Amino acid sequence: MNWTDIEVDLKKKLTPKRFRHTMNVVEAADQLARTFGCDPDQARLAALLHDCAKNLTDEQQLDYARQHQLKIDRVSQNDPQLLHGPVGAVLAKECYGVTDAAIQNAIDCHTTGGKNMSTLDKIIYLADYIEKDRSFPGVETIRQIAETDLDGATIMALTNCICHVAQCGALIHKRTIDARNDLIIKTKNLKLK
Ligand code: FE
Ligand code: FE
């Protein structure tokens, strides 16, 4: 599917608010890609499709994940909407014809983060977090850091996310902890065995 066809399809499937969010993420991802030396077309397509599974119900997320042998851990069992990343990655391939594994992976880990995030993964994670309609406390600081330091901004976003989820009394996803640990180990150059 070409860009216009995907956009038309998503406009039909997503709520107006979610569609607007999606287009804001495209804009933010484009900017981050230009700043951090990633292909803007690749970042824009990953951003366009990042929430393509967000219209599915909890039951549909679980069904789809089971049908495609996706891992359903305890945290996702409890909150099936966490699966919209991994499910979206499969939909991107099967429904929208995206063959680029880097794009699929960025969609896969956009909600929780993941192990050893690539530049594109970080860009989509961050763009989703700081797009212009986001207004939670601390977002302005992360936006500022994201102008020069992709790893620093991603670590801060992951930290914020973990604190917020913990504060709400909810379960914290392992992939988020892994993502943050990996980035801290890498950026601080910690020598660990
Ligand atoms: Fe999402
Ligand atoms: Fe999103």
Whether the pLDDT of residue 113 is over 80: the answer is yes
pLDDT, average across residues 33-42: 98
113 within 8 A of 180, measured Cβ to Cβ: yes
Confidence of residue 160 (pLDDT cuts 50, 70, 90): very high
Whole-number Å distance between alpha carbons of 163 and 100: 33
Of the pLDDT bands very low, low, confident and very high (cuts 50, 70, 90), residue 77 is very high
Closest CA to 28 of 38, 13, 17: 38
Residue 44's CB is within 10 A of a number of other CB atoms, namely 18
**pLDDT band for position 10 (cuts 50, 70, 90):** very high
- pLDDT value for 39: 98
Angle at 9 between CA 14 and CA 19, to 5 degrees: 35
Q: For position 91, what pLDDT does the model report?
A: 98
Q: What's the one-letter identity of residue 191?
A: K
Percent of the chain with pLDDT over 70: 100
Superfamily of domain 3-192: Hypothetical protein af1432 (1.10.3210.10)
Question: Please, is 192 exposed, middle or buried when counting C-beta atoms within 10 Å of its C-beta (0-12, 13-18, 19+)?
Answer: exposed
| pLDDT reading at 3 higher than 80 | yes
Per-residue pLDDT reduced to its tens digit, 177-188: 999 999 999 999
Distance in Å, CA 57 to ligand 1 centroid: 14
Kindly indicate the confidence band of residue 192, based on its pLDDT and cuts at 50, 70 and 90: confident
Q: Are 14 and 22 in contact (CB under 8 A)?
A: yes
**C-alpha 190 to ligand 1 mean position (Å):** 31
Instruction: Give residue 56 CA to ligand 2 midpoint distance, Å.
Output: 14
Q: How close is the Cα of 84 to the center of ligand 1, in Å? A: 7
Q: What integer best gives the mean pLDDT of the chain?
A: 97
Distance 148 CA to ligand 1 centre (A): 24
Residue 193 has pLDDT above 90, yes or no: no
**Mean pLDDT, to the nearest integer, of 143-165?**
98
3-state secondary structure 4-44: HHHHHHHHHHCCHHHHHHHHHHHHHHHHHHHHCCCCHHHHH
Q: Where are the beta strands (DSSP E) in 83-161?
A: none
Task: Calculate how far, in angstroms, residue 38's C-alpha sits from the geometric centre of ligand 1.
Answer: 21
How many angstroms is it from 176 CA to the middle of ligand 1?
A: 14
